[in-house]
Amino acid sequence: MSYGDPNNPYGQPPQQPPAAPGYGYPQAPPGVPPQQGYGYPQQPAYPGYPGGNMMPQSMPGLLVTARVFLFLISAVQILAAIVYLYIGAIASDVSDSADDYGFGSVGDGGDAIAGILIVVALIAAALAALSITLGVKFSRGGQGIRITTVIYGALGGVVGLIGLFIGLDSGLATAIIGPLIWVTFAVIITIAPVVPSGTAWFNRPRY
């Protein structure tokens, strides 16, 4: 028997023809890597941010810090609202007592002071509500929350700088600490949404 004989058990096995392409599945040309299975949706490619190729899956650390600062600021604002409201109520009581004893001018002044303090307390309460809302919305918010946070932080920084200049002019170290902390918080809150990682977080897709 020769090796070329197809009946020779010791010969080379016959060559099998190439497998036919599977029915219903498009075949890639030679040299092209296989694509994802037919019939399955492709995942869209979203632009990443410097230092990463994918969209952030968790909130960046700087945004987490800004969120904590917003909650801390809201706590201070709530306490300020309570204090101003309490002092306003005391001023109103003093005004009523002055009216009872015939001190009309004192009573009028007390009413004015009480009104101003109550208005300040309401403003502080409204700002506290805004701080809490922004902090909570960081997880699901979009561009509106991002822009509002930047504006809010910038305005807070301006107020802190004014207080810092007043404290520096007074020459008292204790008058500088509070405004300096406030400015630091405001700077973090302002820049956290505008750095690349923060921008990518607020631009991420939501399903």
- Give me the average pLDDT of each 10-residue run along the chain (207 residues): 54 55 53 50 47 64 95 96 91 71 60 87 96 92 91 94 89 84 95 93 80
Domain that holds residue 85: 61-202
Note whether residue 37 is domain-resident. no
Note whether residue 186 is domain-resident. yes
**pLDDT recorded at residue 6:** 55
Note whether residue 207 is domain-resident. no
**Rounded to 5 degrees, what are φ and ψ at 101?**
-95, 10
Distance CA 151, CA 132 (A): 15
**pLDDT recorded at residue 5:** 55
151: enclosing H helix or E strand = helix 143-170
Note whether residue 184 is domain-resident. yes
Which token pair is 80?
């300020």
**pLDDT recorded at residue 90:** 87
**pLDDT recorded at residue 111:** 74
**pLDDT recorded at residue 8:** 57
Count up the domains in the chain and report the number. 1
**pLDDT recorded at residue 139:** 87
Question: What is the per-residue DSSP string for 28-77?
Answer: PPTTSPPPSPTTSPPPPPPP--TT-SS--SS--HHHHHHHHHHHHHHHHH
Note whether residue 56 is domain-resident. no
Distance CA 21, CA 39 (A): 17
Note whether residue 27 is domain-resident. no
CB 121 within 8 A of CB 84: yes
Has this prediction a pTM greater than 0.85? no
Distance CA 67, CA 138 (A): 7
Note whether residue 83 is domain-resident. yes
Distance CA 181, CA 169 (A): 17
What separation in angstroms does the CA of 63 have from each of 20, 197, 200? 55, 9, 11
**pLDDT recorded at residue 171:** 77
